[in-house]
Amino acid sequence: MAGYQSYQRSEHGPPIAGIIGSSPAMEEVYRLTRRVARSNASVLLLGETGTGKELIATAIHRLSRRSQGPFVRVNCGALSESLLESELFGHVRGAFTGAVNNRTGRFEAAHTGTIFLDEINSTSLLLQVKLLRVLQEREFERVGDTQTIRVDTRVIAASNRDLMEQVESEKFREDLYWRLNVVPIQIPPLRKRREDIPELVGHFLAQYSDLNDRYVVHIHPQAIEALQDYHWPGNVRELQNYVERAVVMADGDELTVELLPDAVRRRERARRGRARGGDVEALTFEVVQEGIQAAGPDEEGLHDKIVNGVERELIAQVMLACNNVQTKAAARLGINRNTLHKKLKEYNLETGGE
């Protein structure tokens, strides 16, 4: 999730009611959201799990001329192919075992409004054909029926996977991709907008203090540092979970670093270790975690990429500890000075002095 509420303004892309964040990355999201909302174009929301794609879809609908119509959500990844087809298009009595009554589908229910298809990447190729027809012709038949139903429904789709990669691997139809991808909006992961974390934490503290009849209203600076330094694989949804837990477990009125999960606190220890120019184990853990989280779900060659990342960061930290003196740094690393010089060039690091 991207968040819920903000009162800060920006000349480029002021925050939208219901969404938190005033970072440059989110300003661009706001700008695109407002612009596309005025149209009837299909929108494709791209972003990792927990970044807030549904919030942006809701905002597009709310800001559109269809705002008085229904907003219907469908999680395509939560249902089997047969159930999803019935969910989307409806069915008639006797269409299959268990179909004891006629049922209106979600597309029909969203007539004059908007339908939000989350995890569109999980749909089967067969179902994608039917989705393409709805997008192109604005018509379909219920499962088990021959009567054609026409609808005026705007489609917003979302995916946590790279759909073009899915197209190239023949898991997603290219023609459907281009029909959905009229206006793409990339929702940034939390690690790309760390400056929004204090505002998000403040909101979640207030929210969960109210829900749990607590009074946790302060945030220790060390806790904020730890949260901003963490890599956030679960994005805002993970942050929300950690703040709720901290509110429940707090003895006083302050969120301290001790109330945060070990993964966040270990990250903080790694940061302090780097600042001291030591703690190689913590440094290695951090770089490896960053490499894994930054990689795509199907990316190959992680070993070489992460090993190079660890080596680059290690050399950078040792050079810092040795005041950029190559001779001292090479001795501390246990490598030849010429080797160090080559690696400094390879990793585009400052070469330093003799």
Question: pLDDT tens across 244-300, in order?
Answer: 999 999 999 999 999 999 888 876 555 555 554 445 555 565 666 666 666 665 666
Please state the pTM of the whole predicted model.
0.72
- pLDDT tens by residue, 169-191: 999 999 999 999 999 999 999 99
Which of 271, 340, 275 lies closest to 312, judged by CA? 340
SS3 string, 36-87, reads: HHCCCCCEEEECCCCCCHHHHHHHHHHCCCCCCCCEEEEEHHHCCHHHHHHH
Q: Tell me the CB-side half-sphere exposure of residue 55, using CA atoms within 13 A.
A: 23
* Residue 95 or 163, more confident: 163
Angle between helices 221-229 and 262-275 (to 10 degrees): 90
What local confidence, expressed as pLDDT, does residue 224 receive?
94
What is the Rg, in whole angstroms, of the alpha carbon atoms belonging to the chain? 25
What local confidence, expressed as pLDDT, does residue 272 receive?
56
Q: Residues of the chain with pLDDT > 90: what percent?
A: 57
What residues form DSSP beta bridges with 72?
A: 115
Q: Residues of the chain with pLDDT > 70: what percent?
A: 83
- pLDDT tens by residue, 15-44: 788 899 999 999 999 999 999 999 999 999
- pLDDT tens by residue, 317-339: 788 777 788 888 888 888 888 88
What local confidence, expressed as pLDDT, does residue 228 receive?
93
What local confidence, expressed as pLDDT, does residue 295 receive?
64
Residues 6+ apart with CB under 8 A from 209: 215, 216, 217, 247
Tell me the average pLDDT of the chain.
Answer: 85
Helices and strands of the chain, counted as H and E runs: 15, 11
- Kindly list the domain boundaries of the chain, sorted by start residue: 24-188, 214-346
Task: Give me the count of residues in the chain.
Answer: 354
What local confidence, expressed as pLDDT, does residue 76 receive?
93
What local confidence, expressed as pLDDT, does residue 258 receive?
93
Rounded-to-integer distance, Cα 54 and Cα 116, Å: 8
Fold of 24-188: Rossmann fold (3.40.50)
Which of 288, 338, 276, 279 lies closest to 312, judged by CA? 288
Cβ atoms of 194 and 21 within 8 Å: the answer is no
* Phi, then psi, of 172 in degrees rounded to 5: -145, 135
What local confidence, expressed as pLDDT, does residue 98 receive?
67
- DSSP notation for 185-224: EEPPPGGG-GGGHHHHHHHHHHHHHHHTT----EE-HHHH
What local confidence, expressed as pLDDT, does residue 303 receive?
79
Does residue 96 carry a pLDDT above 80? Answer: no
